[in-house]
Amino acid sequence: MKRNLDSIQCLRGFAAVAVALHHASIQIEELAPFKDGTKTFWIAQHFSTYVGAIGVDIFFLISGFIMAYTTYLKPEMTGTEFLQRRFVRIYPLYWFFSFVVIGLQLTPWIGWNAVSLTDSIKAFILYPEFVHYSGMTFVRPVFLAQGWTLIYEVLFYLLFATFISFSPLRRAGLITAVFGVLALTGTLLFPGRPETALVTDSILLEFSLGLIIGWAFTTNRVRITRPWLAVGLSVSAAILGAELLCFDHFRETPRLLHFGLPSLLLVGSLIFSPVAENWHYPRFLKLLGDASYSIYLTHTIVLLLFHTGYIRLGFMRALPYDLYFGLLITVIIASGLISYFLVEKPLLNLCRRRS
């Protein structure tokens, strides 16, 4: 039976905006006037906006849950059909905005960053590749850096399709086991490879946790009362609040603890509570959830344009950084909503009609 998942939709919107907040803050903190102390950024000086990266963990948990839930609603779905659905949902919009970035880089306003044909192909098929930035190495596509999460999603989708015919709990166990085998094999046989960096990242286990949540939800094995809902949300908020104020104390702990645990408490509390299921969520929050993929894909393009404008336009450099930060987030959300209505929905409808 189909259930009300408005809470999940709102969490998607929250996660997308959280990631955008994180990246917008990073962009400002890397500006020379902030680094040398000639301009202040009150928000970053009092809070660790890195906490916004938790949006990725929330996305991965929700992804695992939604895959389990959708196959519960349609148990006859084959692996091929599942991959076709995921392909249509992920790739067309990602390709569209990758071409937007390429187009912008061809203009004198932005300027071209040389990219090899091999790296370009890997970016478009979402195959893992290393990108070097500020002395660090990341698994990233060369055009839309935030597409790294889609690389992880694609790996998860391939494994899910492989084991789609198994029972939900056994499927979760098999996918987790394969993650472990891939991590061990990569570490022993292919050290230093981007593929190994992908499969040894413990954040992959959040997909498995999402699958287990989906199994427990669809089988009604876990239902929590109002007091436990309050406890789950309160503990999650307390952990995030502590990290927001003093993240450096948590930086050395595994991501599964400092981001995975509060994400699990947040997602699980809302999913397993009949009270939360019947809440009336603000329409705007649900709209942000609908547009979350567009917000996620477009926000770095907005940041690129604003950064270029900051360098070239004197009036932008004159803005206080906190005002500049608020302007960034406002434009990011507006751009994501515009993309959702004018690009994502029409493109998705077109692809679904042709598939």
* pLDDT greater than 70 at residue 41: yes
pLDDT in tens, 198-256: 999 999 999 999 999 999 999 988 899 999 999 999 999 999 999 999 877 787 889 99
Tell me which of 31 and 19 has the higher pLDDT: 19
In the numeric block, which tokens belong to residue 57? Answer: 């963990």
Q: Which residues of 129-168 are buried (b: 16+ CB within 10 A; e: fewer)?
A: bebeeeeeeebbbbbbebbbbbbbbbbbbebbbebbeeeb
pLDDT range class, residue 2, cuts 50, 70, 90: low
SS3 353: helix
Average pLDDT over residues 13-22: 97
Q: Which helix (H) or strand (E) holds 311?
A: helix 292-312
pLDDT band at 145 (very low <50, low <70, confident <90, very high): very high
Neighbours of 328 (CB within 10 A): 22
Q: Is the pLDDT of residue 1 over 80?
A: no
Give the tens place of pLDDT for each residue, 163-210: 999 999 999 999 999 999 999 999 999 999 999 999 999 999 999 999
Return d(Cα 26, Cα 299) in angstroms, integer: 13
Q: What single string gives the DSSP state of each residue in 76-137?
A: T--HHHHHHHHHHHHHHHHHHHHHHHHHHHTSTTT-PPP--HHHHHHHHHT---EEEETTEE
- Angle between helix 261-272 and helix 6-29 axes, rounded to 10 deg: 160
Whole-angstrom distance, CA of residue 330 vs CA of residue 227: 36
Q: Is the pLDDT of residue 138 over 90?
A: no
Q: pTM of the predicted model, to two decimals? A: 0.95
The residue with tokens 């003093």 is: 246
Say yes or no to pLDDT of 355 above 70.
no
Q: Which range is least confidently modeled, 2-6, 62-66, 76-80, 156-160?
A: 2-6
Asked whether the beta carbons of 165 and 172 are under 8 A apart, the reply is: no
DSSP-derived pairing of the beta strands 130-133 and 136-139? antiparallel
Is the separation of the CB atoms in 92 and 41 below 8 Å?
A: no
CA distances from 12 to 268, 285, 310 (A): 14, 9, 30
Question: What is the pLDDT averaged over residues 79-105?
Answer: 96
Q: Assess contact for 250 and 239: CB atoms under 8 A.
A: no
Mean of the per-residue pLDDT values of the chain: 93
The length of the chain is 355
- The distance in angstroms from the start CA to the end CA of the chain is 26
pLDDT for the residue numbered 111: 78
Location of structure tokens 């206080």: 320
pLDDT tens-digit map of 277-316: 889 999 999 999 999 999 999 999 999 999 998 888 888 8
Whether 113 shows a pLDDT value over 80: the answer reads no
Does residue 336 have a pLDDT over 70?
yes
| 139, 128 Cβ separation under 8 angstroms | yes
Average pLDDT over residues 158-165: 98
Q: What is the mean pLDDT of residues 98-120?
A: 88
From the list 59, 267, 24, the residue with the least C-alpha distance to 148 is 59
pLDDT of residue 32: 85
The pLDDT score that the predictor gives to residue 136 is 78
